[in-house]
Copies of this chain bind each other. A is one copy, B any other.
């Protein structure tokens, strides 16, 4: 299902074909018809998108809920989704990233199994088949080569920086104490990245994390005047000021190399 923007039918067909070819009868991907709805910015109304998540989450015959695409819209439906999950919703994995982080955050906070990772729409990128294969190989075979390589047994989460900023102070944000927090960003100005890092490190919700890792920051619009610091320098600066350990790079981002980051520990 698509909690935010719409998936194109031909994209779904490409993903289904890749799955058949790589995993044969060991996996069946069902694209909820809601994926292809269109209402303004969204893949259907809030009601339609909420119903579609619940259709799959509350059906015990499915083993995973895979968010079809990011964009914008998951935050609009997160409270309604979380308020209507049935017991069958516990026994599956929820996977997406970027805007999908609103749902991943709330689900993780509520004790569900969630992971950051490539989504069907990623097949449209250069090399996108490898990205989509990575999520499927991890979901179907538990293939550990698909995981973000710095994962070391400590609990972890991965978020788009804008989404994390928008989660702060809301009932969706999970307890991040002792977590490695991986961040990535796309299409934001450096001054906005700096501002959101101030927000993140100023929040008591982030002060007890194990540390921050930075993934790729891509498609940065020009800053006028030049900002004078790279994304990594920005993150290192604010980690330094706030006493949050900066732990290095994370192999995540809005690209075909994006890796899987299961939230929490004990996978």
Contacts and interface: CB of A to CB of B under 8 A. Distances in A.
Interface of A: 38-41, 72, 75-76, 79, 165-172, 190-192, 194-196, 198-199, 202-205, 223, 225-229
A5 to B, nearest CB: 9
A229 B72 CA distance: 14
A195 B40 contact: no
A57 B72 CA distance: 42
A223 B166 contact: no
B227 A41 contact: yes
B40 A225 contact: yes
A238 to B, nearest CB: 9
Contacts of A167: 199
Given A41-B223, A228-B40, A170 B72 contact: no
B40 A75 contact: no
Contact of A198 (B76, B169, B204): B76
A166 B198 contact: yes
Contact of A170 (B75, B199, B227): B199
Contacts of A196: 166
A169 B79 contact: no
Given A166-B199, A202-B172, A191 B229 contact: no
A168 B170 CA distance: 9
Q: Which one of A75, A192, A204 has the greatest number of beta carbons of chain B within 10 Å? A: A75
Contact of A166 (B39, B195, B228): B195
Contacts of A169: 168-170, 199, 203-205
